[in-house]
Protein backbone atom coordinates (compact mmCIF):
# COMPACT_ATOMS: atom_id res chain seq x y z
CA UNK A 1 0.00 0.00 0.00
CA UNK A 2 2.92 2.34 0.67
CA UNK A 3 4.02 2.09 -2.99
CA UNK A 4 0.49 2.63 -4.33
CA UNK A 5 0.24 5.83 -2.29
CA UNK A 6 3.33 7.21 -4.05
CA UNK A 7 2.41 6.26 -7.63
CA UNK A 8 1.34 9.84 -8.37
CA UNK A 9 4.85 11.04 -7.49
CA UNK A 10 6.80 8.97 -10.02
CA UNK A 11 7.80 10.05 -13.50
CA UNK A 12 4.96 8.88 -15.69
CA UNK A 13 5.95 5.56 -17.27
CA UNK A 14 5.85 4.96 -21.01
CA UNK A 15 4.20 1.69 -22.00
CA UNK A 16 4.46 0.08 -25.45
CA UNK A 17 1.50 -2.08 -26.43
CA UNK A 18 1.13 -3.93 -29.73
CA UNK A 19 -1.71 -4.83 -32.03
CA UNK A 20 -0.28 -8.38 -32.10
CA UNK A 21 2.74 -10.48 -31.23
CA UNK A 22 5.73 -9.53 -33.37
CA UNK A 23 4.51 -5.98 -33.98
CA UNK A 24 7.83 -4.59 -32.78
CA UNK A 25 7.25 -3.86 -29.08
CA UNK A 26 10.61 -5.21 -27.88
CA UNK A 27 12.70 -3.19 -30.31
CA UNK A 28 10.58 -0.09 -29.75
CA UNK A 29 11.21 -0.33 -26.00
CA UNK A 30 14.93 -0.92 -26.67
CA UNK A 31 15.10 2.18 -28.87
CA UNK A 32 13.19 4.37 -26.40
CA UNK A 33 15.43 3.20 -23.56
CA UNK A 34 18.55 4.32 -25.44
CA UNK A 35 16.95 7.58 -26.63
CA UNK A 36 16.08 8.51 -23.05
CA UNK A 37 19.47 7.42 -21.73
CA UNK A 38 21.15 9.66 -24.32
CA UNK A 39 18.91 12.55 -23.27
CA UNK A 40 20.02 12.28 -19.64
CA UNK A 41 17.04 10.42 -18.21
CA UNK A 42 17.21 7.25 -16.09
CA UNK A 43 15.17 4.69 -18.04
CA UNK A 44 14.52 1.17 -16.72
CA UNK A 45 12.80 -1.53 -18.81
CA UNK A 46 9.96 -3.63 -17.44
CA UNK A 47 7.79 -6.45 -18.74
CA UNK A 48 5.50 -7.97 -16.14
CA UNK A 49 5.20 -11.33 -17.85
CA UNK A 50 7.11 -12.80 -20.76
CA UNK A 51 6.89 -16.18 -22.44
CA UNK A 52 10.22 -17.20 -23.93
CA UNK A 53 12.91 -19.86 -23.79
CA UNK A 54 15.50 -17.27 -24.77
CA UNK A 55 16.68 -16.45 -21.27
CA UNK A 56 19.37 -14.54 -19.42
CA UNK A 57 20.76 -15.02 -15.93
CA UNK A 58 21.34 -11.91 -13.82
CA UNK A 59 24.16 -11.38 -11.35
CA UNK A 60 22.11 -12.89 -8.52
CA UNK A 61 21.45 -16.05 -10.53
CA UNK A 62 17.89 -15.06 -11.45
CA UNK A 63 16.35 -16.00 -14.80
CA UNK A 64 14.74 -13.37 -17.01
CA UNK A 65 13.88 -13.00 -20.69
CA UNK A 66 16.81 -12.03 -22.90
CA UNK A 67 14.77 -9.22 -24.47
CA UNK A 68 14.59 -7.40 -21.13
CA UNK A 69 18.33 -7.96 -20.62
CA UNK A 70 18.94 -6.36 -24.02
CA UNK A 71 16.73 -3.43 -23.04
CA UNK A 72 18.74 -3.05 -19.83
CA UNK A 73 21.93 -2.89 -21.92
CA UNK A 74 20.24 -0.12 -23.93
CA UNK A 75 19.68 1.74 -20.64
CA UNK A 76 23.33 1.25 -19.68
CA UNK A 77 22.42 -0.75 -16.56
CA UNK A 78 22.80 -4.33 -15.37
CA UNK A 79 19.85 -6.62 -16.12
CA UNK A 80 17.82 -7.78 -13.11
CA UNK A 81 15.00 -10.30 -12.89
CA UNK A 82 12.85 -7.55 -11.32
CA UNK A 83 12.63 -6.11 -14.84
CA UNK A 84 10.81 -9.31 -15.90
CA UNK A 85 9.25 -10.71 -12.70
CA UNK A 86 7.27 -13.47 -14.43
CA UNK A 87 8.92 -15.67 -17.06
CA UNK A 88 7.04 -18.58 -18.59
CA UNK A 89 9.27 -21.12 -20.35
CA UNK A 90 7.25 -23.36 -22.70
CA UNK A 91 7.90 -27.10 -22.52
CA UNK A 92 5.39 -28.22 -25.18
CA UNK A 93 1.85 -29.63 -24.93
CA UNK A 94 0.58 -26.34 -23.42
CA UNK A 95 2.85 -26.81 -20.38
CA UNK A 96 5.21 -24.13 -19.09
CA UNK A 97 7.71 -23.68 -16.30
CA UNK A 98 6.77 -20.73 -14.08
CA UNK A 99 9.56 -18.43 -12.90
CA UNK A 100 8.90 -15.65 -10.37
CA UNK A 101 11.60 -13.08 -9.66
CA UNK A 102 14.21 -15.27 -11.30
CA UNK A 103 13.38 -18.51 -9.46
CA UNK A 104 11.54 -21.55 -10.78
CA UNK A 105 8.44 -22.16 -8.67
CA UNK A 106 6.44 -24.73 -10.58
CA UNK A 107 5.00 -26.23 -13.76
CA UNK A 108 1.56 -25.39 -15.11
CA UNK A 109 -0.79 -26.07 -17.97
CA UNK A 110 -2.19 -23.07 -19.83
CA UNK A 111 -5.66 -23.69 -18.36
CA UNK A 112 -4.39 -24.03 -14.79
CA UNK A 113 -2.19 -20.97 -15.16
CA UNK A 114 -5.09 -18.61 -15.71
CA UNK A 115 -7.03 -20.22 -12.88
CA UNK A 116 -4.29 -20.62 -10.26
CA UNK A 117 -1.46 -18.19 -10.97
CA UNK A 118 -3.19 -14.89 -11.60
CA UNK A 119 -3.29 -13.59 -8.01
CA UNK A 120 0.28 -14.62 -7.03
CA UNK A 121 1.47 -13.32 -10.42
CA UNK A 122 -0.05 -9.89 -9.84
CA UNK A 123 1.48 -9.75 -6.38
CA UNK A 124 4.98 -10.48 -7.73
CA UNK A 125 4.54 -7.79 -10.41
CA UNK A 126 3.60 -5.20 -7.77
CA UNK A 127 6.48 -6.34 -5.57
CA UNK A 128 8.94 -5.86 -8.45
CA UNK A 129 7.62 -2.40 -9.31
CA UNK A 130 7.86 -1.33 -5.68
CA UNK A 131 11.44 -2.61 -5.45
CA UNK A 132 12.53 -0.89 -8.67
CA UNK A 133 11.19 2.48 -7.55
CA UNK A 134 12.64 2.07 -4.06
CA UNK A 135 16.10 1.59 -5.59
CA UNK A 136 15.65 4.18 -8.37
CA UNK A 137 13.00 6.74 -7.34
CA UNK A 138 13.87 9.12 -10.21
CA UNK A 139 13.72 6.53 -12.98
CA UNK A 140 11.27 6.45 -15.85
CA UNK A 141 9.91 2.98 -16.42
CA UNK A 142 9.66 1.88 -20.07
CA UNK A 143 7.10 -0.92 -20.00
CA UNK A 144 6.52 -3.57 -22.66
CA UNK A 145 3.20 -5.31 -23.12
CA UNK A 146 2.76 -8.85 -24.45
CA UNK A 147 0.94 -9.99 -27.57
CA UNK A 148 -2.30 -8.08 -28.02
CA UNK A 149 -3.89 -6.21 -25.10
CA UNK A 150 -7.40 -7.14 -26.23
CA UNK A 151 -7.50 -10.93 -26.37
CA UNK A 152 -11.12 -10.99 -25.21
CA UNK A 153 -11.11 -14.59 -23.99
CA UNK A 154 -8.13 -13.87 -21.71
CA UNK A 155 -8.40 -10.16 -20.93
CA UNK A 156 -9.88 -10.70 -17.46
CA UNK A 157 -6.70 -12.64 -16.57
CA UNK A 158 -4.17 -10.56 -18.52
CA UNK A 159 -1.35 -9.66 -16.13
CA UNK A 160 0.95 -7.70 -18.36
CA UNK A 161 -0.98 -5.30 -20.61
CA UNK A 162 -3.85 -3.01 -19.62
CA UNK A 163 -3.85 -4.04 -15.95
CA UNK A 164 -0.27 -2.77 -15.63
CA UNK A 165 -1.06 0.30 -17.77
CA UNK A 166 -3.95 1.30 -15.49
CA UNK A 167 -2.05 0.51 -12.30
CA UNK A 168 0.82 2.81 -13.34
CA UNK A 169 -1.37 5.32 -15.21
CA UNK A 170 1.17 4.96 -18.01
CA UNK A 171 1.34 6.96 -21.21
CA UNK A 172 0.74 4.18 -23.74
CA UNK A 173 1.96 3.82 -27.31
CA UNK A 174 0.24 1.37 -29.66
CA UNK A 175 2.64 -0.24 -32.16
CA UNK A 176 1.46 -1.96 -35.32
CA UNK A 177 3.37 -3.75 -38.10
CA UNK A 178 2.47 -2.49 -41.56
CA UNK A 179 4.55 -5.25 -43.17
CA UNK A 180 1.87 -7.77 -42.15
CA UNK A 181 -0.89 -5.87 -43.94
CA UNK A 182 -4.24 -4.74 -42.56
CA UNK A 183 -2.68 -1.97 -40.49
CA UNK A 184 -5.86 0.15 -40.38
CA UNK A 185 -7.98 -2.76 -39.18
CA UNK A 186 -5.33 -3.68 -36.60
CA UNK A 187 -5.42 -0.21 -35.07
CA UNK A 188 -9.16 0.41 -35.22
CA UNK A 189 -9.98 -3.08 -34.00
CA UNK A 190 -7.60 -2.89 -31.05
CA UNK A 191 -8.86 0.51 -29.89
CA UNK A 192 -12.53 -0.43 -30.39
CA UNK A 193 -12.15 -3.42 -28.08
CA UNK A 194 -10.75 -1.29 -25.26
CA UNK A 195 -12.90 0.16 -22.50
CA UNK A 196 -13.14 3.99 -22.53
CA UNK A 197 -10.81 4.35 -19.51
CA UNK A 198 -8.28 2.10 -21.25
CA UNK A 199 -8.43 3.87 -24.59
CA UNK A 200 -7.73 7.17 -22.81
CA UNK A 201 -4.30 5.83 -21.89
CA UNK A 202 -3.30 5.46 -25.57
CA UNK A 203 -1.42 8.68 -26.30
CA UNK A 204 0.25 7.75 -29.57
CA UNK A 205 0.44 5.26 -32.44
CA UNK A 206 3.58 3.95 -34.17
CA UNK A 207 3.50 2.43 -37.65
CA UNK A 208 6.41 -0.02 -37.73
CA UNK A 209 8.43 -1.58 -40.60
CA UNK A 210 7.36 0.82 -43.34
CA UNK A 211 9.01 0.25 -46.71
CA UNK A 212 9.42 2.92 -49.36
CA UNK A 213 8.59 6.65 -49.43
CA UNK A 214 7.21 7.75 -46.05
CA UNK A 215 5.29 10.59 -47.71
CA UNK A 216 3.09 8.00 -49.42
CA UNK A 217 1.51 7.20 -46.07
CA UNK A 218 0.58 10.80 -45.24
CA UNK A 219 -3.08 10.31 -46.18
CA UNK A 220 -3.18 7.07 -44.21
CA UNK A 221 -1.74 8.87 -41.19
CA UNK A 222 -4.40 11.58 -41.38
CA UNK A 223 -7.16 8.96 -41.69
CA UNK A 224 -5.95 7.09 -38.59
CA UNK A 225 -5.73 10.29 -36.55
CA UNK A 226 -9.17 11.44 -37.70
CA UNK A 227 -10.81 8.10 -36.88
CA UNK A 228 -9.05 7.43 -33.57
CA UNK A 229 -8.38 10.94 -32.24
CA UNK A 230 -4.92 9.58 -31.34
CA UNK A 231 -1.79 11.09 -32.98
CA UNK A 232 0.52 8.95 -35.10
CA UNK A 233 3.80 9.83 -33.37
CA UNK A 234 6.09 7.77 -35.57
CA UNK A 235 6.40 5.93 -38.85
CA UNK A 236 9.45 3.71 -38.49
CA UNK A 237 11.17 2.51 -41.67
CA UNK A 238 12.27 -1.07 -42.27
CA UNK A 239 15.56 -1.60 -40.44
CA UNK A 240 18.17 -4.13 -41.50
CA UNK A 241 20.15 -4.62 -38.27
CA UNK A 242 19.63 -8.06 -36.80
CA UNK A 243 18.36 -8.54 -33.27
CA UNK A 244 17.65 -11.84 -31.53
CA UNK A 245 14.09 -13.06 -32.06
CA UNK A 246 12.09 -13.54 -28.89
CA UNK A 247 10.14 -16.48 -30.25
CA UNK A 248 11.97 -19.41 -31.83
CA UNK A 249 9.41 -19.42 -34.66
CA UNK A 250 11.06 -16.23 -35.87
CA UNK A 251 14.20 -18.24 -36.59
CA UNK A 252 12.45 -19.56 -39.70
CA UNK A 253 12.86 -16.09 -41.22
CA UNK A 254 16.32 -15.42 -39.78
CA UNK A 255 18.99 -15.60 -42.47
CA UNK A 256 22.58 -14.46 -42.75
CA UNK A 257 22.96 -11.63 -45.24
CA UNK A 258 26.67 -11.55 -45.99
CA UNK A 259 27.47 -12.04 -49.66
CA UNK A 260 30.90 -13.72 -49.58
CA UNK A 261 31.03 -16.09 -46.60
CA UNK A 262 34.12 -18.26 -46.13
CA UNK A 263 32.70 -20.57 -43.45
CA UNK A 264 29.32 -22.31 -43.53
CA UNK A 265 27.70 -23.08 -40.16
CA UNK A 266 24.69 -25.35 -39.66
CA UNK A 267 22.64 -25.01 -36.45
CA UNK A 268 20.22 -27.81 -35.59
CA UNK A 269 16.69 -26.36 -35.19
CA UNK A 270 15.55 -28.39 -32.18
CA UNK A 271 11.80 -28.45 -31.42
CA UNK A 272 12.50 -27.16 -27.88
CA UNK A 273 15.41 -24.88 -28.76
CA UNK A 274 16.41 -22.34 -26.11
CA UNK A 275 18.89 -19.49 -25.75
CA UNK A 276 19.31 -19.01 -29.49
CA UNK A 277 20.76 -15.54 -28.83
CA UNK A 278 23.97 -17.52 -28.18
CA UNK A 279 24.59 -17.36 -31.93
CA UNK A 280 24.16 -13.62 -32.52
CA UNK A 281 27.95 -13.07 -32.40
CA UNK A 282 28.33 -15.56 -35.25
CA UNK A 283 25.55 -13.82 -37.20
CA UNK A 284 27.66 -10.67 -37.05
CA UNK A 285 30.83 -12.30 -38.44
CA UNK A 286 31.13 -11.29 -42.09
CA UNK A 287 33.01 -14.46 -43.01
CA UNK A 288 30.25 -16.77 -41.74
CA UNK A 289 27.02 -18.01 -43.33
CA UNK A 290 24.49 -19.59 -40.94
CA UNK A 291 21.78 -22.02 -41.96
CA UNK A 292 19.18 -23.69 -39.72
CA UNK A 293 18.84 -27.45 -40.14
CA UNK A 294 15.38 -28.93 -39.50
CA UNK A 295 15.55 -32.37 -41.09
CA UNK A 296 17.93 -35.19 -41.96
CA UNK A 297 20.44 -34.31 -44.67
CA UNK A 298 24.05 -34.75 -45.73
CA UNK A 299 26.00 -32.36 -43.50
CA UNK A 300 29.30 -32.55 -45.36
CA UNK A 301 28.88 -29.07 -46.87
CA UNK A 302 29.09 -27.45 -43.45
CA UNK A 303 32.34 -26.40 -41.78
CA UNK A 304 30.72 -26.41 -38.32
CA UNK A 305 27.62 -28.03 -36.85
CA UNK A 306 26.12 -26.56 -33.66
CA UNK A 307 23.71 -28.26 -31.28
CA UNK A 308 22.02 -25.44 -29.33
CA UNK A 309 20.43 -25.37 -25.90
CA UNK A 310 17.16 -27.22 -25.28
CA UNK A 311 14.30 -26.77 -22.82
CA UNK A 312 13.50 -30.51 -23.16
CA UNK A 313 16.76 -32.34 -23.79
CA UNK A 314 15.37 -35.90 -23.68
CA UNK A 315 12.53 -35.01 -26.03
CA UNK A 316 14.90 -33.27 -28.45
CA UNK A 317 17.36 -36.18 -28.40
CA UNK A 318 14.49 -38.52 -29.30
CA UNK A 319 13.66 -36.11 -32.15
CA UNK A 320 17.26 -36.31 -33.40
CA UNK A 321 17.17 -40.11 -33.36
CA UNK A 322 13.75 -40.40 -35.00
CA UNK A 323 14.58 -37.96 -37.80
CA UNK A 324 17.98 -39.50 -38.55
CA UNK A 325 19.83 -36.32 -37.55
CA UNK A 326 21.77 -38.17 -34.83
CA UNK A 327 23.19 -40.52 -37.44
CA UNK A 328 23.88 -37.58 -39.76
CA UNK A 329 25.88 -35.90 -36.99
CA UNK A 330 27.83 -39.09 -36.23
CA UNK A 331 28.71 -39.52 -39.91
CA UNK A 332 29.71 -35.85 -40.10
CA UNK A 333 32.09 -36.33 -37.17
CA UNK A 334 33.86 -39.15 -39.04
CA UNK A 335 34.54 -36.87 -41.99
CA UNK A 336 36.74 -34.22 -40.35
CA UNK A 337 33.67 -32.34 -39.15
CA UNK A 338 33.69 -29.71 -36.40
CA UNK A 339 30.88 -29.95 -33.84
CA UNK A 340 30.04 -27.91 -30.77
CA UNK A 341 27.14 -28.38 -28.38
CA UNK A 342 25.95 -25.75 -25.92
CA UNK A 343 24.14 -26.74 -22.72
CA UNK A 344 21.49 -29.23 -23.88
CA UNK A 345 23.57 -29.69 -27.02
CA UNK A 346 26.54 -30.72 -24.85
CA UNK A 347 24.32 -33.21 -23.01
CA UNK A 348 23.07 -34.74 -26.29
CA UNK A 349 26.62 -35.20 -27.58
CA UNK A 350 27.27 -37.53 -24.64
CA UNK A 351 26.59 -41.25 -24.37
CA UNK A 352 23.84 -41.40 -21.74
CA UNK A 353 20.95 -39.20 -20.55
CA UNK A 354 19.03 -40.11 -17.38
CA UNK A 355 15.82 -38.33 -16.35
CA UNK A 356 14.62 -39.94 -13.08
CA UNK A 357 12.32 -37.03 -12.15
CA UNK A 358 10.78 -36.52 -15.63
CA UNK A 359 12.30 -33.06 -15.93
CA UNK A 360 13.59 -33.08 -19.51
CA UNK A 361 10.85 -34.56 -21.67
CA UNK A 362 10.60 -38.18 -20.60
CA UNK A 363 7.39 -39.45 -19.00
CA UNK A 364 6.06 -42.51 -17.23
CA UNK A 365 5.34 -44.28 -20.51
CA UNK A 366 8.85 -43.71 -21.89
CA UNK A 367 12.38 -44.61 -20.87
CA UNK A 368 13.99 -42.62 -18.07
CA UNK A 369 17.37 -43.44 -19.57
CA UNK A 370 18.24 -43.01 -23.25
CA UNK A 371 21.37 -42.95 -25.36
CA UNK A 372 22.88 -39.70 -26.52
CA UNK A 373 24.59 -39.18 -29.86
CA UNK A 374 27.67 -40.77 -28.31
CA UNK A 375 30.46 -38.53 -29.58
CA UNK A 376 31.72 -37.50 -26.13
CA UNK A 377 32.14 -40.03 -23.26
CA UNK A 378 29.83 -38.11 -20.93
CA UNK A 379 26.87 -39.11 -18.79
CA UNK A 380 24.19 -36.59 -17.75
CA UNK A 381 21.68 -37.08 -14.94
CA UNK A 382 18.82 -34.61 -14.56
CA UNK A 383 17.86 -33.64 -11.02
CA UNK A 384 14.87 -31.80 -9.57
CA UNK A 385 16.54 -28.39 -9.32
CA UNK A 386 18.46 -26.53 -11.99
CA UNK A 387 21.59 -24.43 -11.82
CA UNK A 388 21.56 -20.74 -12.78
CA UNK A 389 24.64 -18.57 -12.30
CA UNK A 390 26.95 -16.08 -13.96
CA UNK A 391 30.32 -17.48 -15.03
CA UNK A 392 33.78 -15.92 -14.79
CA UNK A 393 36.41 -18.46 -15.79
CA UNK A 394 39.44 -19.04 -18.00
CA UNK A 395 39.79 -21.20 -21.07
CA UNK A 396 42.74 -23.40 -21.96
CA UNK A 397 41.43 -24.32 -25.44
CA UNK A 398 41.49 -23.18 -28.19
CA UNK A 399 43.34 -20.36 -26.43
CA UNK A 400 44.08 -19.03 -22.97
CA UNK A 401 41.61 -16.23 -22.26
CA UNK A 402 39.18 -14.93 -19.69
CA UNK A 403 35.62 -16.17 -20.20
CA UNK A 404 32.29 -14.63 -19.20
CA UNK A 405 28.84 -16.10 -19.66
CA UNK A 406 26.16 -17.87 -17.67
CA UNK A 407 24.81 -21.31 -16.87
CA UNK A 408 21.13 -22.19 -16.92
CA UNK A 409 20.47 -25.92 -16.97
CA UNK A 410 19.12 -28.95 -15.22
CA UNK A 411 21.43 -31.92 -14.99
CA UNK A 412 24.93 -32.80 -13.94
CA UNK A 413 27.39 -34.06 -16.54
CA UNK A 414 30.44 -36.17 -15.74
CA UNK A 415 32.99 -38.25 -17.59
CA UNK A 416 31.80 -41.87 -17.77
CA UNK A 417 34.91 -43.55 -16.40
CA UNK A 418 38.65 -43.17 -15.90
CA UNK A 419 39.45 -44.70 -19.27
CA UNK A 420 37.17 -42.18 -20.94
CA UNK A 421 39.01 -39.30 -19.26
CA UNK A 422 42.00 -40.02 -21.50
CA UNK A 423 39.87 -39.36 -24.59
CA UNK A 424 38.74 -35.81 -23.80
CA UNK A 425 40.14 -32.63 -22.28
CA UNK A 426 38.56 -29.82 -20.25
CA UNK A 427 38.04 -26.55 -22.09
CA UNK A 428 38.01 -24.34 -19.01
CA UNK A 429 39.78 -23.92 -15.69
CA UNK A 430 36.53 -25.07 -14.08
CA UNK A 431 36.60 -28.49 -15.72
CA UNK A 432 32.86 -29.18 -15.36
CA UNK A 433 32.01 -26.32 -17.75
CA UNK A 434 32.99 -28.13 -20.95
CA UNK A 435 35.14 -30.68 -22.77
CA UNK A 436 36.60 -31.25 -26.22
CA UNK A 437 38.35 -33.94 -28.20
CA UNK A 438 40.16 -33.99 -31.51
CA UNK A 439 39.10 -36.48 -34.16
CA UNK A 440 41.80 -38.74 -35.55
CA UNK A 441 41.00 -37.66 -39.11
CA UNK A 442 40.74 -33.97 -38.22
CA UNK A 443 38.12 -31.66 -36.79
CA UNK A 444 37.03 -31.28 -33.17
CA UNK A 445 34.02 -32.17 -31.05
CA UNK A 446 33.34 -29.84 -28.14
CA UNK A 447 30.60 -29.09 -25.66
CA UNK A 448 30.10 -26.41 -23.03
CA UNK A 449 27.53 -25.35 -20.46
CA UNK A 450 28.40 -21.67 -20.94
CA UNK A 451 25.73 -19.60 -22.66
CA UNK A 452 27.22 -16.54 -24.31
CA UNK A 453 30.47 -18.35 -25.07
CA UNK A 454 30.70 -16.75 -28.53
CA UNK A 455 30.42 -13.27 -26.99
CA UNK A 456 33.99 -13.76 -25.75
CA UNK A 457 35.87 -12.21 -28.67
CA UNK A 458 39.27 -13.88 -28.23
CA UNK A 459 37.73 -17.32 -27.69
CA UNK A 460 35.37 -16.94 -30.66
CA UNK A 461 38.15 -15.75 -32.96
CA UNK A 462 40.49 -18.60 -32.04
CA UNK A 463 37.73 -21.20 -32.38
CA UNK A 464 36.92 -19.84 -35.85
CA UNK A 465 40.65 -19.94 -36.64
CA UNK A 466 40.71 -23.71 -36.00
CA UNK A 467 38.20 -24.07 -38.81
CA UNK A 468 39.93 -21.53 -41.03
CA UNK A 469 43.26 -23.38 -40.69
CA UNK A 470 41.62 -26.64 -41.73
CA UNK A 471 40.34 -24.87 -44.85
CA UNK A 472 43.72 -23.22 -45.47
CA UNK A 473 42.17 -19.77 -45.04
CA UNK A 474 44.17 -16.86 -43.57
CA UNK A 475 43.78 -16.81 -39.82
CA UNK A 476 42.02 -13.93 -38.08
CA UNK A 477 44.39 -11.87 -35.96
CA UNK A 478 42.49 -9.47 -33.74
CA UNK A 479 40.44 -8.34 -36.72
CA UNK A 480 37.08 -9.39 -35.33
CA UNK A 481 34.95 -6.52 -34.08
CA UNK A 482 34.14 -6.90 -30.39
CA UNK A 483 30.64 -8.34 -30.27
CA UNK A 484 29.60 -6.23 -27.28
CA UNK A 485 30.83 -3.10 -29.07
CA UNK A 486 28.94 -4.21 -32.17
CA UNK A 487 25.81 -4.73 -30.06
CA UNK A 488 26.23 -1.24 -28.65
CA UNK A 489 26.59 0.15 -32.17
CA UNK A 490 23.44 -1.66 -33.30
CA UNK A 491 21.46 -0.33 -30.32
CA UNK A 492 22.76 3.19 -30.98
CA UNK A 493 21.85 2.97 -34.68
CA UNK A 494 18.41 1.64 -33.77
CA UNK A 495 17.85 4.53 -31.37
CA UNK A 496 19.04 7.06 -33.96
CA UNK A 497 16.60 5.72 -36.58
CA UNK A 498 13.72 5.81 -34.12
CA UNK A 499 14.70 9.29 -32.91
CA UNK A 500 14.56 10.62 -36.49
CA UNK A 501 11.07 9.26 -37.01
CA UNK A 502 9.49 9.35 -33.55
CA UNK A 503 8.14 12.30 -31.53
CA UNK A 504 8.32 11.53 -27.80
CA UNK A 505 8.05 15.13 -26.58
CA UNK A 506 4.49 14.84 -25.26
CA UNK A 507 5.39 11.66 -23.31
CA UNK A 508 8.07 13.26 -21.15
CA UNK A 509 5.84 15.25 -18.80
Question: What is the total residue count of the chain?
Answer: 509
The string over 305-317, giving b where at least 16 C-beta atoms fall within 10 Å of a residue's C-beta and e elsewhere, is bbbbbbbbbbbbb
CB-based contacts of 229: which residues, under 8 Å, 6+ apart? none
Annotated catalytic residues are: 343, 451
d(CA 339, CA 379): 18
Verify cis geometry, omega within 30 degrees of 0, for the bond prior to 398.
Answer: yes
User: Alpha-carbon distance 360 to 55, whole Å?
Assistant: 17
Rounded to whole angstroms, the Cα distance separating 28 from 48 reads 17
Nearest-5° angle of CA 334, CA 412, CA 425? 45
At 382 the three-state DSSP class reads: coil
Contact 374, 339 (CB under 8 A): no
**Other beta carbons less than 10 A from residue 340's beta carbon:** 24
Indicate the Cα dihedral angle 64, 145, 30, 102, nearest 10°.
-10
Amino acid sequence: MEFEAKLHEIKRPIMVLGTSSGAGKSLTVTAICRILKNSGEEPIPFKGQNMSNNAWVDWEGGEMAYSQALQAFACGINPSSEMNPILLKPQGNSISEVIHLGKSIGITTAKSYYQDWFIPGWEVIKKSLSSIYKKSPNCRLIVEGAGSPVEMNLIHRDLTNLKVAKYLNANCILVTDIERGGVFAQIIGTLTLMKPEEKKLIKGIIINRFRGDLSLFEEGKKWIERKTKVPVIGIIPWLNDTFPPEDSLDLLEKKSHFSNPEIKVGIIKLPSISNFSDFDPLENEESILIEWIRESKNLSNYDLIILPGSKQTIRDQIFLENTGLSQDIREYSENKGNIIGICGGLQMLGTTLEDPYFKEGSNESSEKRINGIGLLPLKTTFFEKKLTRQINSESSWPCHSKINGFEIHNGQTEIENMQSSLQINPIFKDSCLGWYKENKRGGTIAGTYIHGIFENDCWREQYINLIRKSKKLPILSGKSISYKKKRELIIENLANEFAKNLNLTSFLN
